[in-house]
Amino acid sequence: MGTIRTADGTEIFYKDWGTGQPVVFSHGWPLSADDWDNQLLFFLSKGYRVVAHDRRGHGRSTQTGDGHDMDHYADDLKAVVDHLDLRDCLHVGHSTGGGEVTHYLARHGEQRAAKGALLCAVPPLMVRTDANPEGLPKAVFDDLQAQLAANRSGFYRDLAAGPFYGFNRPGAEPSEAIVANWWRQGMMGGAKAHYDGIVAFSQTDFTEDLGKITIPVLVVHSEDDQIVPYADSGPKSAALLKNGVLKTYKDLPHGLPTTHPDVVNADLLEFFRS
């Protein structure tokens, strides 16, 4: 584990374990590299090198006052890849991290990348616009910012205990350990980064980015995702990619890498090895 300093002086924390082909993980909002614990250990055991960083303003990285946008997120990911001289990378992004991976590949090219995977990811575009009438109203994201500003701790607790992991569904068995770990990761980061990040993940249009990507990309999404609605995300992203493959789950939650790691890890491994 270590840190690097980006061009604007931001320190980015990262984990780097093992040898072999690198699997590079980009986490969701408002979490940290710790959200990938299960995947890191699994792919390490399969002979891969695993790398995961804390996005700026998140986790153990610098709580900067600005730069909370997809351009900076993509540039910070490039800084980690270049610093570690990673090549033939397998990039995995969950939720906001899927936007980060998409923008990184489009903005900085695929020279160091072999494949990608977008898990319940925010592309192509979450917010409703004239060109994206199926999106969510901007008022939904404005309300998220208002709740964060009013009581970030309570807001995070409720989000983790409810729709993020599907614990609000009939018959669901909430896990206090999972909720507490989500809350812990969120509260490690900075309120300003998380507040601005809501705009970054909801209002960035990745349509052109997806069209630029030529490497194989696995798009994983569940029809029961309560955070990033399925119909306006997974299928659209897969269709826009030149070499995209859509894997649809029916009843899994948005936070499926944590709640169903055996399913997700097996599908990722099969895709990487194919």
Strand order in the sheet with 113-119: 2-5, 11-17, 49-53, 22-26, 89-94, 113-119, 217-222, 244-249
Tell me if 126 sits within 8 A of 136, measured CB to CB. Answer: yes
pTM above 0.95, yes or no: yes
Predicted local confidence at residue 118, as pLDDT: 99
φ, ψ at 32 (rounded to 5°): -150, 180
Provide the domain count of the chain.
1
Backbone angles phi, psi at 5, to 5 degrees: -110, 125
What's residue 103's pLDDT?
98
Kindly name the residue from 76, 196, 225, 232 that is annotated as catalytic: 225
Contacts of 166 (CB under 8 A, 6+ apart): 172, 224, 226, 252, 253, 254, 255, 259
CA distances from 263 to 132, 177, 182, 248, 260 (A): 31, 20, 20, 12, 6
Cβ burial of 93 (10 Å; 0-12, 13-18, 19+) is buried
Catalytic pick among 95, 202, 222, 233:
95
CATH number at residue 257: 3.40.50.1820
Question: Which candidate, 94, 75, 74, 81, places its Cα nearest to that of 30?
Answer: 94
Q: Which residues span the domain enclosing 147?
A: 2-273
> pLDDT 10s per residue in the chain (274 long)?
799 999 999 999 999 999 999 999 999 999 999 999 999 999 999 999 999 999 999 999 999 999 999 999 999 999 999 999 999 999 999 999 999 999 999 999 999 999 999 999 999 999 999 999 999 999 999 999 999 999 999 999 999 999 999 999 999 999 999 999 999 999 999 999 999 999 999 999 999 999 999 999 999 999 999 999 999 999 999 999 999 999 999 999 999 999 999 999 999 999 999 9
How much is the pLDDT for 85? 98
Is 225 known to be catalytic? yes
The pLDDT score that the predictor gives to residue 84 is 98
